C-alpha cells in the first residue's frame, strides 16, 4: 500500500508540473486513410496534452484504421525546429517519443524527428534499435513549422512487425506514454515536455470505432 501511495503521488506531481489534460485516451477509427498535409479530424477538447506553466508543451491525437495508426502532434515552443543528430541520438534534439505497451508487458517505442542528416528519421527502440528514413513502406512523416511551434503527422503501418504484434483493432486496450524532446539549438536537449516516457508514466489507450 505504501508503494502504491508513492506511485500515485509521483504521478500526480508529474501531472501537476506538466498540466496533462487526459488520463485516458480513446483513439477513433477513421473511415478513410488520412493523408499527410491535409487537415486531420482532430478535436481540440479530445487532445492528449501536457503543458508547462510558461505555455510550452504539446497536444497529441491518435487515429487508426485496419492498415495504419496515425499520430498528429502539435508542439508549442519558442525554440526553432531543428535536429542535428541522427539514428539513436535523435532524442537529444527536437523529437517525439511515443511508447505503447500491452497487458502482457510487451512494449515498444517510436522516436520520430526531422534531422539535418537524413530528413525524416524513425527509430524503433526494442529489443534492438531499428533505423528507418521515411517515407518507406512502413512509415510516412510530415513535420512543418507553425506560428505556435511545429506540427507533426505520422503514419505507422500495422504491417510493420513491431506494431503488428499489438493486434490493434476495435476495443483493443493498451497503455501509452508520450514526451517531446525540445532543443534550443538542435544540438542538445534543452528540456523534456511531458516526460512521461522517461518517467514510465502510462495512460490508458483504447482503440474505438
The secondary structure of 22-65, three-state, reads CCCEEEEECCCCCCCCCCCCCCHHHCEEEECCCCCEEEEEEEEC
Q: Residue 22 pLDDT more than 60?
A: no
| CATH number for position 185 | 2.60.40.1190
Q: What is the pLDDT of residue 180?
A: 98
CA of 204: how far to CAs of 172, 173, 187, in Å?
11, 7, 33
Domain that holds residue 118: 2-208
Q: What is the pLDDT of residue 1?
A: 41
Q: Residue 27 pLDDT more than 60?
A: yes
Of residues 142, 170, 122, 152, the one with CA closest to residue 42: 152
As for how many domains the chain has, the answer is 1
Q: What does the pLDDT look like over 43-78, one tens digit per residue?
A: 999 999 999 999 999 999 999 999 999 999 999 999
User: Average pLDDT of the chain?
Assistant: 91
Q: What does the pLDDT look like over 102-135, one tens digit per residue?
A: 999 999 999 999 999 999 999 999 999 999 999 9
Q: What is the pLDDT of residue 177?
A: 97
Strand duo 173-182 + 139-145: pairing: unpaired
Instruction: Residue 194: count other Cβ atoms within 10 Å of its Cβ.
Output: 29
Q: Residue 160 pLDDT more than 90?
A: yes
In angstroms, the CA 127 to CA 105 distance is: 13
Amino acid at each position: 500500500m505504501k508503494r502504491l501511495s508513492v506511485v500515485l503521488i509521483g504521478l500526480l506531481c508529474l501531472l501537476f508540473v506538466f498540466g496533462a489534460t487526459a488520463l485516458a485516451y480513446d483513439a477513433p477509427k477513421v473511415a478513410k486513410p488520412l493523408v499527410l498535409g491535409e487537415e486531420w479530424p482532430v478535436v481540440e477538447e479530445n487532445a492528449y496534452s501536457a503543458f508547462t506553466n510558461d505555455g510550452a508543451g504539446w497536444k497529441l491525437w491518435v487515429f487508426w484504421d485496419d492498415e495504419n495508426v496515425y499520430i498528429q502532434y502539435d508542439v508549442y515552443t519558442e525554440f526553432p525546429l531543428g535536429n542535428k543528430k541522427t539514428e539513436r541520438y535523435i532524442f537529444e534534439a527536437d523529437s517525439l517519443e511515443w511508447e505503447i505497451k500491452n497487458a502482457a508487458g510487451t512494449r515498444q517505442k517510436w522516436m520520430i524527428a526531422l534531422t539535418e542528416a537524413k530528413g525524416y528519421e524513425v527509430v524503433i527502440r526494442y529489443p534492438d534499435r531499428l533505423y528507418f528514413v521515411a517515407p518507406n513502406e512502413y512509415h510516412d512523416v510530415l513535420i512543418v513549422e507553425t506560428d505556435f511551434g511545429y506540427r507533426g503527422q505520422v503514419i505507422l503501418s500495422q504491417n510493420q512487425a513491431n506494431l503488428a504484434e499489438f493486434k490493434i483493432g476495435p476495443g483493443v486496450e493498451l497503455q501509452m506514454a508520450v514526451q517531446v524532446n525540445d532543443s534550443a539549438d538542435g544540438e542538445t536537449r534543452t528540456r523534456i515536455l511531458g516526460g512521461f516516457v522517461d518517467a514510465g508514466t502510462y495512460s490508458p489507450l483504447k482503440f474505438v470505432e
